């Protein structure tokens, strides 16, 4: 019985990390979009309020120092 001791290259590790970060980003965008869409089921006013709150929160997150 032989064991496989393959070495992962830096390029493949980098590619895998980039791919995971891209999937995380797309998942968070889908989550952020789902919040106003769920509020839309309650009515257009709730959709508008949810969209404005989401924009304010995202602006605050983008303006954080050190990120």
In a domain, 1, yes or no: no
Instruction: Tell me how many domains the chain contains.
Output: 1
Within 10 angstroms of residue 53's Cβ, the number of other Cβ atoms is 13
pTM of the model: 0.59
Q: What is the mean pLDDT of residues 9-21?
A: 92
Q: Which two tokens stand for residue 40?
A: 């839309």
**What pLDDT, on a 0 to 100 scale, did the predictor assign at position 16?**
92
Q: What is the CA radius of gyration of the chain?
A: 20
Q: What is the mean pLDDT of residues 8-18?
A: 90
Q: What is the mean pLDDT of the chain?
A: 87
What is the per-residue pLDDT across 28-52, written as a single tens digit (0 to 9) for each? Answer: 889 988 999 999 999 999 999 999 9
> CA-to-CA distance for 29 and 41, rounded, in angstroms?
19
**Could you please report the per-residue DSSP string of 43-63?**
-HHHHHHHHHHHHHHHHHHHT
In a domain, 25, yes or no: yes
In a domain, 40, yes or no: yes
């Amino acid at each position: 019985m032989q064991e496989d001791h393959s070495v992962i290259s830096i390029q493949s590790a980098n590619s895998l990390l980039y791919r995971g970060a891209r999937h995380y980003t797309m998942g968070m965008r889908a989550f952020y979009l789902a919040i106003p869409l769920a509020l839309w089921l309650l009515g257009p006013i709730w959709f508008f309020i949810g969209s404005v709150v989401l924009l304010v929160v995202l602006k605050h997150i983008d303006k954080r120092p050190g990120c």
